[in-house]
C-alpha cells in the first residue's frame, strides 16, 4: 500500500514538510491537504487553519481547470471570505485531487462537491490517508461515523478501530469503499490490503442537521429519548456554495425548497444521536425518534436559523426552566479534551425575546457554538425554541477541523 507517510519525492511546487515535533502539549505541526480548495467550504478550511496550533496547510487540490495555477490566481474570482487569502496559501500551486500529489500530508480535509467526492475520498483512504469529509456521499455508510464534534465524538475511537482492522476477508472499510473505486488505480488496493495503519474516513453532518442535534443531544442526555421533533429552517445562501442561488431567485424572496435537505436532516439526526453496537460493528439509530423537517433558503449570507418543537418520550416532560438549565449546563468531549477550536460553551442560551439573529449571533464562540433562544412551552408537543448556527464553521469546515483535533487528542492522528 502506498502511504501518506511515504518517503517518495514531493511535487516541486510544494513547500518542504514541516518538522513534526511537539514544542508544547498543544503545539504540533501536522501537514494537511485540502480537497475542493477553491470552493466555499475549501475557502473556509483555509481561513480556519491559518495559524492553527496543530495543522499546517501543505497541499491544495481542486478541479483540473484550477490545477497548475497558484492558489491566488485559481481563486481570484471565487474567493468570498471577509479576510484576504493567507500569504503562504496564496503561493501554493493547486494540484489535481490525486493522492500522488498529496504525499507528505497526513490529514485530508475534503470540501468536494458530492458529484465527485465519493470516488476521490475513497481513493485517498485507499492510500492510508486520514480523510475528514464534509460531503454527503459516505455519511450513511454503516462503517463511516457521522460526527458532530460537540455532540458524538465518543463514536470516534470505536469505529476507527474497526475501520483499521484486518480479517481473512481483508479490511472492512476498503471493502465497503470498493464500489467507489471501480475503474481507478486504487481498486487493486481495496481488493488486496488487509488493514489500514494511519487512514480512516470520518464525515461531518449536513449544516442544518449540525445545528439541530447540538441542543437535542443536551436534552437527550438530561431527560432521555426524544420521540418527535418538527423543525423549520431558514438557511443562508452561503450554504448553496458559489455562485449559489441566482440573485433574482433570492432577493425579496424565500425559496421553500432545498434539494435533499429535508431528507438529510430526518435521517442524519437519528444516526448522530444513536450509538455504536460493538457486537455488530454497526451504528444504531436513536430509538423511536422521528424528525420532520421543512427547509427554506433565505436572503442571509451566513447563519442557519431553525425553529424547533419537540416531544420527550418520558412523562412528565421537563419544565421550560429545566430545559434551559440543561442547555446551559451542557458540555462535550471536545471541550473536555482541550481541543483548541472547541467553544467554551457549545450552547449559548439567550433570554432576549428577539434572539438569536444571524447577523448578531452567528459569530458566537467564533462560530463553533449554537445559540438557542425563545425557549417556551409548545401547545402541540412539550417545548419549542429557536436556534442559530454558523453553517460554514460549525456546520461545515469547522466541524471537520474540530473532528481532526479530537482525533489528535485521542491518538488517532499522530
What are the residue numbers of the active site? 207, 304
Of 134, 223, 210, 232, nearest to 369 by C-alpha is 210
- Reading the block at residue 31, the C-alpha cell is 501537514
CA distance 61 to 93: 9
List of E strands, 315-369 = 347-349
Burial of residue 242 (number of CB atoms within 10 Å: 0-12, 13-18, 19+)? middle
CA distance 304 to 180: 32
Task: Give backbone dihedrals phi and psi of 75, rounded to 5 degrees, phi first.
Answer: -105, 15
CA distance 316 to 358: 34
- Reading the block at residue 401, the C-alpha cell is 477541523
Q: What is the CA radius of gyration of the chain?
A: 21
CB 244 within 8 A of CB 80: no
For the stretch 172-177, contacts whose Cβ atoms lie closer than 8 Å and that sit 24 or more positions apart, written own/partner, are 172/143, 172/281, 173/125, 173/143, 173/144, 173/200, 173/201, 174/125, 174/126, 176/141, 176/142, 176/143, 176/144, 177/122, 177/125, 177/126, 177/138, 177/201
Q: How far is CA 61 from CA 23, 98, 114, 301, 407, in A?
A: 29, 8, 15, 26, 23
- ∠ at Cα 82 (241, 113), nearest 5°? 20
Enter the DSSP assignment of 397.
I
Task: Give backbone dihedrals phi and psi of 72, rounded to 5 degrees, phi first.
Answer: -60, -35
Task: Kindly report the number of other CB atoms within 10 A of residue 368's CB atom.
Answer: 26
CB 336 within 8 A of CB 247: no
- Cell 402541540 sits on residue: 380
CA distance 143 to 164: 11
Amino acid at each position: 500500500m502506498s502511504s501518506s507517510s511515504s518517503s517518495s519525492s514531493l511535487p516541486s511546487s510544494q513547500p518542504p514538510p514541516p518538522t513534526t515535533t511537539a514544542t508544547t502539549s498543544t503545539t504540533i505541526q501536522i501537514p494537511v491537504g485540502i480537497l475542493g480548495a477553491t470552493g466555499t467550504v475549501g475557502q473556509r478550511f483555509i481561513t480556519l487553519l491559518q495559524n492553527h496550533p496543530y495543522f499546517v496547510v501543505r497541499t491544495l487540490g481542486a478541479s483540473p481547470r484550477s490545477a497548475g495555477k497558484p492558489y491566488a490566481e485559481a481563486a481570484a474570482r471565487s474567493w468570498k471570505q471577509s479576510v484576504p487569502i493567507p500569504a503562504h496559501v496564496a503561493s501554493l500551486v493547486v494540484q489535481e485531487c490525486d493522492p500522488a500529489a498529496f504525499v507528505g500530508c497526513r490529514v485530508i480535509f475534503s470540501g468536494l462537491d458530492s458529484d465527485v467526492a465519493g470516488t476521490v475520498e475513497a481513493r485517498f483512504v485507499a492510500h492510508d490517508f486520514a480523510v475528514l469529509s464534509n460531503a454527503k456521499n459516505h455519511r450513511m455508510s454503516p462503517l463511516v461515523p457521522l460526527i458532530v464534534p460537540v455532540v458524538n465524538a465518543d463514536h470516534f475511537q470505536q469505529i476507527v478501530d474497526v475501520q483499521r482492522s484486518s480479517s481473512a476477508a481483508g479490511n472492512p472499510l476498503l471493502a465497503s469503499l470498493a464500489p467507489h473505486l471501480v475503474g481507478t488505480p486504487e481498486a487493486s488496493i481495496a481488493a488486496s490490503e488487509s488493514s489500514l495503519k494511519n487512514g480512516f474516513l470520518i464525515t461531518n453532518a449536513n449544516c442544518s442537521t449540525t445545528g439541530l442535534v447540538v441542543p437535542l443531544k443536551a436534552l437527550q442526555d438530561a431527560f432521555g429519548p426524544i420521540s418527535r421533533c418538527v423543525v423549520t429552517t431558514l438557511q443562508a445562501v452561503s450554504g448553496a456554495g458559489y455562485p449559489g442561488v441566482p440573485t433574482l431567485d433570492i432577493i425579496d424572496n424565500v425559496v421553500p425548497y432545498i434539494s435533499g435537505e429535508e431528507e438529510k436532516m430526518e435521517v442524519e439526526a437519528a444516526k448522530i444521536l444513536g450509538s455504536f453496537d460493538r457486537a455488530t460493528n454497526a451504528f444504531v439509530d436513536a430509538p423511536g425518534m422521528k424528525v420532520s423537517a421543512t427547509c427554506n433558503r433565505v436572503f442571509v449570507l451566513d447563519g442557519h436559523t431553525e425553529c424547533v418543537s419537540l416531544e420527550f418520550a418520558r412523562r412528565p416532560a421537563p419544565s421550560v426552566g429545566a430545559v434551559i438549565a440543561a442547555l446551559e449546563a451542557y458540555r462535550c468531549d471536545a471541550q473536555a479534551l482541550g481541543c483548541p477550536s472547541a467553544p467554551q460553551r457549545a450552547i449559548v442560551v439567550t433570554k432576549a425575546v428577539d434572539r438569536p439573529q444571524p447577523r448578531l449571533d452567528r459569530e458566537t464562540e467564533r462560530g463553533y457554538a449554537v445559540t438557542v433562544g425563545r425557549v417556551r412551552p409548545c401547545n402541540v408537543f412539550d417545548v419549542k425554541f429557536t436556534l442559530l448556527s454558523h453553517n460554514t464553521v460549525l456546520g461545515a469546515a469547522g466541524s471537520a477541523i474540530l473532528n481532526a483535533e479530537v482525533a489528535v487528542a485521542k491518538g488517532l492522528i499522530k
